[in-house]
Structure 1
Amino acid sequence: MKIVKIEAIPFAIPYRKPLRFASGEVHIADHVLVRVHSDDGVVGVAEAPPRPYTYGETQASIVAAIEGLFAPELVGLSLLEREVMHARLDRTVGNPAAKAALDMAVWDALGRTLDLPVTQLLGGWADRMRVAHMVGFAPDAEMVAEAEHVRERYGITTFKVKVGRRPVELDVRACRALRSALGPEVELYVDGNRGWTPSEAARALDAMSDLGLTLAEELCPADDVLGRRWLVGRTPVPTVADESATTPGEVTRELLGGSATMISIKTARTGFGTSQRILHQAEGLGVEVVMGNQIDGQIGTACTVAFGAAHRASSRRAGELSNFLDMADDLLTEPLQIAGGELAVRPGPGLGIEIDPDKLAHYRL
């Protein structure tokens, strides 16, 4: 089970519409397919989505880091030597998406080798998760229409509203329109992607106090330590640390410093290994988690649901698993399907997914 080759293949697939959030926007999924080959002929896959405005990585930097730094360190190791892998990857700072994709591709290869699903290897709690869908930064009527369409077609009843990019009043009005149209049974929460000041966030949460928001995610800049702590102390809405809590150390800082009360786990930036460390850390501190999304394609979404469903704590809440619906295409031979508000883990060994060679040839750069 030794690693003999690692590939980092850049590809680009357009979105049907731009995806906008306070920290940036995405028009094309310019991601990197990572493939880990073992001497048994097994190939594990994962996806690295660059987010330069959040983590500083680009498609080119991910390819360069994997080919120039990480592949030479990992080739020759066994698929079981994951601690050694992490130690070698950690010699280089940053590059979270590149490291995460390598970690998950190794897990996929291991599952395929053992003929076991990754979800079973990680924990085996469930075989599906409830799905949350993201809406935001469009006229109120368009946001409502999208949410109603998604609820009717896919059965999704949890919606994450992107805020923080425009005046507070517009975001408040949008949330109010969604609550009015969708009714009290739908779960709504907001994500500011660090776009508001603490005072703006406080004003917005006060204005929406009657809407029954279940979460408020990353409303203020990650380095505004005192402002975030002040905001958490004055709102009853659970506050989720996302971009500010990307490592176990940052999770400790956010929780013990009073800057957050929940943690967003994104396998696209912490893989399966570090995500599991963060999950167990949160459990030990009695803190809830939510499975986030880094605007992943279907490969990345398959990774998120495999991890989220594997653990009791990460499967309690709806996971952010529907962003791939906005992509014009994907690389899988069999597309993921959301039904009844849920996304099932793919059956079969590893992640249970296969790459379509014709699609890869068409979209690769």
Structure 2
Amino acid sequence: MKITSIEAIPFAIPYVKPLRFASGEVHTALHVMVRVTSDDGIVGVAEAPARPFTYGETQESIVAVIKTLFAPQLVGMSILDREAMHAIMNRTVGNPTAKSAVDMAVWDVIGKTLGQPVTALLGGFTDSMRVSHMLGFAEPAKIVAEAERMRSTYGITTFKVKVGRRPFGLDVDVCRALREEMGGDIELYIDGNRGWTPSESLRALNAMADLDLTLAEELCPADDVLGRKWLVDHCNVPFVADESATKPGEVTRELLSGAANAVSIKTARTGFSHSQRVLFQCDGLGAEVVMGNQIDGQIGTLCTVTFGAAFESTTRRAGELSNFLDMSDDLLTEPLEIVDGRLSVRQVPGIGIDIDAGKLAKYRLDQGN
């Protein structure tokens, strides 16, 4: 059960419409498919999304670090030596999505080798999760129309609203329109992507105090230490650390310092192995968690629900599992389906990722199409 190859395959799939938010916007999924093969001929697959405005990684840097650093050192190791693999990869600073994709692809190989679903190996709590849909920057009428479509077509009733624009009035108008047009049976929470100052954040929260928001995520800069603590002290909903909590040590710092009291877990940046550590830290400290979205494609979304459905505390809130719907195409032979507001895990050995070879050939960037 030794690793014989690790591949990093860049691909590009356009979005039907761009997702816009305070720290950037995404028009095309410039992702990297990571493929790990064992000497038994078993192949594990995961996906690394390039998010230079958040983690500093580009598609080119992800491919380069896997091909030139990680693969040469990990090939020949047992697929069970996950801790040793992480020790090797962690000698290289940063590169969280590259490391995470290797980790999850290895887990996929382990599951297939053992003939067990990865979600069962992780914890096996349940077989599906409620779905939350992210709504990007747009005028109130367009946002309401998108949310209505998600509710009527997929049964989704939980929505994360991107905020952080200056002045903040339009963001308040969007949230108010959603509540007024869609009623009290939907859940709303907001994500500022570090777009406001602490004082702007509090003013905006006060302006939305009657809208029954359930979470406020990363409203102000991650390095504004005193400002974040001040805001959390005045915030009447759980304040979620996201970009400020990209690894277990940062999670501990944010929670113990009082700069946040909830955490977004994203398998795209902490894989399965380190996502477990983040989750157990949060459980031990009594902090809520939400399964976040890195604007993932279907591969990444399937990894998220695989992890999220495995534990009780990750299923208490809806997971952000639907933004692949904004992509014009994807790589899976069997597309994901959201039914009655829920997404199911795949009860097959591994993660359940089966790549359509024709689509991969069409969208990959490292070979002539």
**TM-score normalised to structure 1 length:** 0.99
In the aligned structure 1, how far is the partner of 2:287 from the partner of 2:26? 31
In the aligned structure 2, how far is the partner of 1:364 from the partner of 1:166? 38
2:351 match = 351
Q: Secondary structure at the match of 2:240?
A: strand
Query: 1:347: how far off?
Result: 2.2
Q: Secondary structure at the match of 1:210?
A: helix
Q: Secondary structure at the match of 2:116?
A: coil
Q: Secondary structure at the match of 2:346?
A: coil
Q: Which amino acid aligns with 2:299?
A: I
Q: Deviations over 1:91-145 (max 9, x none)?
A: 0110000000000000001101111000000000011000000113111100000
| Structure 2 gap segments, 5+ residues each | none
1:270 match = 270
In the aligned structure 1, how far is the partner of 2:55 from the partner of 2:218? 15
2:323 match = 323
In the aligned structure 1, how far is the partner of 2:363 from the partner of 2:248? 35
2:68 match = 68
Q: Secondary structure at the match of 1:310?
A: coil
2:173 match = 173
Q: Secondary structure at the match of 2:259?
A: coil
In the aligned structure 2, how far is the partner of 1:86 from the partner of 1:313? 25
Q: Deviations over 1:242-301 (max 9, x none)?
A: 000011110111011110010000000000000000000110111110000100000000
In the aligned structure 2, how far is the partner of 1:300 from the partner of 1:342? 16
In the aligned structure 2, how far is the partner of 1:279 from the partner of 1:154? 28
1:85 match = 85
Q: Secondary structure at the match of 1:314?
A: helix
Q: Deviations over 1:153-197 (max 9, x none)?
A: 000000000000342011001100000011111100000000000
2:149 match = 149
In the aligned structure 1, how far is the partner of 2:14 from the partner of 2:71? 28
Q: Deviations over 1:28-58 (max 9, x none)?
A: 0010000000000000000000100000000
Q: Which amino acid aligns with 2:94?
A: G
In the aligned structure 1, how far is the partner of 2:86 from the partner of 2:127? 27
2:27 match = 27
Q: Which amino acid aligns with 2:75?
A: V
In the aligned structure 2, how far is the partner of 1:179 from the partner of 1:269? 32
Give runs of aligned pairs for residues 82-121 of structure 1, distance below 5 A.
82-121=82-121
In the aligned structure 2, how far is the partner of 1:136 from the partner of 1:32? 23
Q: Secondary structure at the match of 2:353?
A: coil
1:159 match = 159
1:8 match = 8
2:222 match = 222
Q: Deviations over 1:222-247 (max 9, x none)?
A: 00011110000011111000000011
In the aligned structure 1, how far is the partner of 2:122 from the partner of 2:166? 40
Q: Secondary structure at the match of 2:91?
A: coil
2:251 match = 251
**TM-score normalised to structure 2 length:** 0.98
2:65 is aligned with 1:44: no
How many percent identity over aligned positions?
73
Q: Which amino acid aligns with 2:319?
A: G
